[in-house]
Structure 1
Amino acid sequence: MQRLLFFIIIAGIFTSCRPTEFTPKPAGYFKIDTPAVHQYKEFMYPGYPYQFEYPIYSNVERDTVFIKDNPNNKYWLNINVPSLGAMINITYLTVPSKDGFIRMVNDAYGLSSFHEKKADYIREETYRNKYGVTGIIYTVGGNSASRFQFTATDSLHHFLRGALYFDVTPNADSLKPAADFLEQDVNHFLETIRFS
């Protein structure tokens, strides 16, 4: 009787310990909540050689990391959008000469082309705003570190370069809603940038 009971318990253990059939969940991403509307305020700080409008749901901070290395970088900024984990990095340089300007344009192109390794494509588009500022917008497709990069210049004295970054591993699909939303803010920045 004890043997029969022992075999029943052992048989029960083996039949009850069969692995259950696993059904994976379909792939998906977290929902990204973007602000309801695009609204802007003026960036016009005393002593800065440029002004622009930036989103009210962001904050502007000096890029203190590079100021320590080079005091000429004192006009470098970060426009942070904490709710989306995004940052628009702004670098500013004065144009020393015609050759210096050409070198700056080539450097900006090189920095944008650096993303070709991960990019599906890089689309270049020139623009000119109502203040006479011209430049190039680089739209980078695929899983690159930066979706938008741009330059803004008066071609004589001022040269500004910017790039949109997210504080996550690049994944074009999951970042698409946030990147699409911020594209309008980048374009608004370029429409309103002006030099003093």
Structure 2
Amino acid sequence: MDKSAERFMKILGILGLLLFVLFSSCKEKAPVPKPSSYLRTELPDHDYYTLKVDNPVVGFTAEISTLFSLSKNLSDLKFGFQELDLGAANGTLLLYSKRFDNRDSLFKLINAANDLVDEHKVKADQIDYLQIKDTDRKVFGTFFSLKGNVATNYQFYLTDSSSRFIRGELLLNCRPNYDSLRPVIDYLKVDMDRMLSSFRWNK
């Protein structure tokens, strides 16, 4: 075989290799986009019903989501406790209540509630608060919204400023991940606003 023939065979070999690589790459599957990191949770439109909680320590009435149901209503001589199951939202709203008979006792309860919120400052990216003041219903307090990978995204306390005090915290039944849980957290914010704006003490 002369040199020109050898050169021709080398060129054919190189072209064959290039064609093989080209066709092999064309057969590869197109890249598939990664699934969204957000939790896909189907929750219904907001709807409410009136819940009346009779408790010897502190009784109250409020409009709550139709997803919520009262699963526990307990009391002893000093403290009241309620647990609301959040249904499809997969969480729990815990309510703790106590009677007080002087201003010092009220301030201690408020400070204790604030301290429980402060415990989450290490992991919270931001803590917003909203003052609640309704003189007609005698409902006063603070609503806390905690953003970030925290164990509880909403806490609050309410008082009539004379004898009744109640504190609440909302817990989701999963590992804290603010980004993936954001749709559920935002959904529950609407329900919490409705509950607190309609809250009234039982006579």
Match of 1:31 in 2: 40
Structure 1 residues 49 and 30, CA gap change in structure 2 (3 angstroms): closer
Question: Does residue 126 of structure 1 match 2:136?
Answer: no
2:78 alignment partner, SS class: helix
2:184 alignment partner, SS class: helix
Query: RMSD of the TM alignment (CA)?
Result: 2.4
Show CA shifts across 1:119-160 (max 9, x none): 001112101235120110111111111111111101110001
Match of 1:142 in 2: 148
Once the 2 structures are TM-superposed, how far is the Cα of residue 37 of structure 1 from its aligned partner?
A: 2.5
1:32 alignment partner, SS class: coil
Once the 2 structures are TM-superposed, how far is the Cα of residue 88 of structure 1 from its aligned partner?
A: 1.1
Structure 1 residues 190 and 93, CA gap change in structure 2 (3 angstroms): same
Aligned pairs (5 A) from 1:70-89: 71-73=77-79, 75-89=80-94
Residue identity in the other structure for 1:141 = K
Match of 2:160 in 1: 154
Show CA shifts across 1:73-123 (max 9, x none): 3x3111111211111111101113211100000000000111101100111
Cα distance in 2 for partners of 1:23, 1:191 equals: 46
Once the 2 structures are TM-superposed, how far is the Cα of residue 50 of structure 1 from its aligned partner?
A: 1.9
Match of 2:121 in 1: 116
Residue identity in the other structure for 1:160 = I
Contact in 2 for aligned 1:95/1:157 (Cα 8 Å): yes
Contact in 2 for aligned 1:80/1:87 (Cα 8 Å): yes
Question: Does residue 90 of structure 1 match 2:99?
Answer: no
Match of 1:49 in 2: 59
Greater Rg over alpha carbons, structure: 2
Cα distance in 1 for partners of 2:116, 2:73 equals: 19
Cα distance in 1 for partners of 2:103, 2:45 equals: 44
The normalised TM-score by structure 1 is 0.78
Once the 2 structures are TM-superposed, how far is the Cα of residue 25 of structure 1 from its aligned partner?
A: 3.2
Once the 2 structures are TM-superposed, how far is the Cα of residue 26 of structure 1 from its aligned partner?
A: 4.8
Cα distance in 1 for partners of 2:35, 2:194 equals: 37
Structure 1 runs not aligned, ≥5 long: 1-21
Structure 1 residues 36 and 142, CA gap change in structure 2 (3 angstroms): same
| Percent identity (aligned) | 24
Structure 2 runs not aligned, ≥5 long: 1-30
2:85 alignment partner, SS class: strand
Contact in 2 for aligned 1:43/1:54 (Cα 8 Å): no
Match of 1:182 in 2: 188
Provide the aligned length of Structure 1 versus Structure 2. Answer: 172
Contact in 2 for aligned 1:41/1:56 (Cα 8 Å): no
Deviates more, 1:32-41 or 1:98-107: 32-41
Cα distance in 1 for partners of 2:108, 2:53 equals: 28
